Amino acid sequence: MIYLGADHAGFDLKKIIKNYLDSIGVANKDLGNTKLDPDDDYNDFAKKVAQKVAREKGARGILICGTGNGVCIVANKIRGIQAAIAHNEFTARMAKRHGDTNILCLGGRVVKPTKAKKLVKIWLEEKLSPDPKYLRRIKKIFALEKNL
């Protein structure tokens, strides 16, 4: 399952990404905002999506705010979340291949819809690199959650 979340600055792009996921048959759920509210806070949707992803085995998330920064900062506060921003094909690919992220963050004011769909496709299809050094680094990140 792919959980989606966005504030006002990512609202339109979230709809586009949802339609795209539907069109390619990828199960997804929109966790809001469900209406365009210019005064909403990215924090609330990032928290919702990140908690779902952290609790549900195999789940992933896509979060969108104006830059991708706000939602990414919030999501990475939740234990079990590895979130990264992608603004181009390379960063989308590496977010998975080297970072094994379970949440992709996009900037609705940064990437155009066609590019954003491409980034989502790349991130969904990419796998963690088999080179053990990447897993070693990811394990070091998760060790920080246990204060080791």
Report the residue from 7, 52, 60, 116 that binds ligand RB5 according to the rule CB under 6 A: 7
Report the residue from 16, 20, 69, 118 that binds ligand RB5 according to the rule CB under 6 A: 69
Block residue for tokens 């992803």? 53
Residues 8, 87, 98, 105: which is the catalytic one? Answer: 98
β-pair partners for 65: 107
Report the residue from 66, 82, 93, 128 that binds ligand RB5 according to the rule CB under 6 A: 66
User: Binding segment for ligand RB5 among 28-36, 51-59, 64-72, 89-97 (CB under 6 A)?
Assistant: 64-72
56: its two tokens = 């549900």
- Find all residues with CB under 8 Å of 99, minimum gap 6, and list them: 82, 84, 134, 138
Burial tier of 98 (Cβ tally within 10 Å: 0-12, 13-18, 19+): middle
User: Which residues form the interface with ligand RB5 (CB under 6 A)?
Assistant: 7, 9, 42, 65-67, 69-70
